[in-house]
Amino acid sequence: MAPSLCGLGSYPGSLRHWVLTCFVTLLLLLPPSNLGYSPDYLEEVCGKPWWPDNLEEIRHWPWEVSLRMENKHVCGGALIDLIWVISAAHCFQSLSLMLLTDNLTLTPELQEAEVFIMDNKKCDHIFHQNSLYPRVIHLIRRNMICAANYGESLCYGDPGGPLACEIDGRWILAGVLSWEKACVKPQNPGVYTRLTKYTRWIKEQMNHGALPGPCRASCLLFLSWLLQLLVDP
């Protein structure tokens, strides 16, 4: 069976400081079994994709987000709701959610990269090469997805970026980039946080609503730290 083809939103080398492409989201859909994982891993996450009236549906990767500090790109992210952004927690551990207070800025400066889902065992074997960790220690866990592109490599600023797969004309947010051997060999896979493993936590945070204003930054950091403890006790 041919590997499932997915898309990782990325940016040109000179434009690694990403800019948010839109202020809508592609809601998580139902990932089918042909992604190479058992139904146990891929469960229904939530509703249907939603677009505002003023957005052209032909715009590519409208869920891409740039997380910035002093107007410099730090990490990527993806919108999963009008006011919620998901990213890699080490940009602030495995996963983080951010609640927006202002509208976002659009940009046409975006570059895509096609990646292929890789079997976790094969991915684990690759990362054990030239590693000091013994083989009995799994570097790639069940809450991770590996994907590789044999012509382009990931680099600094890519973590937090979304891994999106097109299934039957609909885009599924499958993961956010967690870690990789940055800027090394294109054949080295990127390791993504498997979002279906955190569906309940994501829904709970979104249903909880807005955090108290003065507490938002510190609370988000605390939630990321707490999530890491729950995943890796």
Q: Which domain holds residue 42?
A: 5-231
Residues with Cβ within 8 Å of residue 162, at least 6 apart in sequence = 8, 9, 63, 64, 76, 77, 78, 86, 173, 175, 176, 177
CA atoms within 13 A on the CB side of 81: 18
Report the alpha-carbon distance of residue 54 to residue 65 in Å, rounded: 18
29 alpha-carbon distance from chain centroid: 14
Predicted TM-score (pTM) above 0.75: no
Mean pLDDT estimate for the chain? 63
Domain count, the chain: 1
Q: According to the per-residue pLDDT averaged within each range, which of 150-154, 186-190, 210-214 is highest?
A: 186-190
DSSP-assigned states of every residue in 10-66: E--GGG-S-----S---------GGGSS-TTT-----------TTS-TTSS-TTEEE
CB 111 within 8 A of CB 80: no
Give the list of residues 6+ apart from residue 216 with CB closer than 8 angstroms, or none.
99, 101
Supply the pLDDT for residue 88.
75
DSSP summary character for residue 68 = E
Q: Within its chain, how far is the Cα of 187 from the centroid?
A: 19
Residue 15 has pLDDT above 70, yes or no: no
Share above pLDDT 90 across residues of the chain, in percent, rounded to a whole number: 1
Q: Please tell me whether residue 70 adopts helix, strand or coil conformation.
A: coil
Please state whether 130 falls in left (phi above 0), alpha (psi between -120 and 50) or beta: left
- Can you give the pLDDT at residue 233? 41
* Phi, psi torsion values for 145, nearest 5 degrees: -130, 135
pLDDT tens digits along 107-125: 666 666 788 888 999 989 8
CATH number for position 154: 2.40.10.10
